[in-house]
Chains A and B, each alone.
Chain A
């Protein structure tokens, strides 16, 4: 299992702040998790459609689609940041 977190506009669009999902089979990566999310209903496939601007962090460090995952990892999805 991995924990998925969603922040800001992405959390509101998906109406989900946190969930746990099983790791994709094979060599799990962030990309595999994103494929799982895209296969859900339209709200999810739209939020993660190619070209959508979102960022991902694994265990609180910026990551990308190729980042490998292991059980217990914390994977966070969020829009481009707007602090400062």
Chain B
């Protein structure tokens, strides 16, 4: 059901949503999340960023996250697009779009997929600051966000 892509090129969120819902009459809700590159992180200005990933495992991990979401909520389709390579502040970096009959399932699944993506999908950010290049450190708040869902079940 879910379609995931990892790509260097920019994506068009409107086109992704249109493709997600094309020809369907059963979709009542589409929830989307778009993550952007910020111009500051951990107290330093960020002028550029590059994203590395683990080809093969990345796609598999994203598909498994989507499958887990589909097991928890009633979803009609899911799309995840994540960019890699060089990025600049203001660039869109990730899109999650979830189609369902009702908004509750779409909202919850969209947030779940992002929380799990942040802690389970093998991407790594390196940012350029006035002090030079640095790898972004993982945040404990991301682990806490993901662990909210481990109580299990719908709801």
User: Does B bind A?
Assistant: yes
Q: Using a CB–CB distance below 8 Å, which chain A residues touch chain B?
A: 5, 7-9, 53, 57, 60-62, 76, 78-84
B88 to chain A, nearest CB (A): 17
Give complex CA distance A8, B135 in Å. Answer: 8
- Nearest CB in chain A: distance from B90 CB, A: 17
Q: B54–A82 contact, CB under 8 A?
A: no
- Chain B 49-76 residues near chain A, CB threshold 8 A: 51-54, 56-57, 60-61
Contact yes or no, B120 A81, CB < 8 A: yes
Q: Which of A5, A9, A53, A57 is the one whose CB lies under 8 Å from B124? A: A9
Q: Do residues A83 and B124 form an inter-chain contact, with CB atoms below 8 A?
A: yes
Q: What is the chain A residue whose CB lies nearest that of B33?
A: A84
Q: In whole angstroms, how far apart are the Cα atoms of A81 and B124 in the complex?
A: 6
CB-based nearest A residue for B121: A83
CB of B135 within 8 A of CB of A83, answer: no
Interface residues of B (CB under 8 A from A): 35, 51-54, 56-57, 60-61, 82, 93-94, 114, 117-126, 135-138
How many A-B pairs fall under 8 Å by CB? 71
Verify A76–B54 contact, CB threshold 8 A.
yes
Q: Return B40 CB to nearest CB of chain A, in Å.
A: 16
* Contact assessment for A82 and B94 in the assembled complex, using a CB-CB cutoff below 8 Å: no
In the complex, the 7 A-B pairs of residues with the closest C-beta atoms, listed nearest first: A83-B123, A80-B138, A8-B124, A60-B57, A9-B135, A84-B118, A82-B136
B148 to chain A, nearest CB (A): 16
Q: Smallest Cβ distance from A57 to chain B, in angstroms?
A: 6
List 5 extra interface pairs beyond A53-B138, A76-B57, CB under 8 A.
A7-B52, A7-B124, A60-B56, A81-B121, A81-B122
Who on chain A is nearest to B93 by CB?
Answer: A84
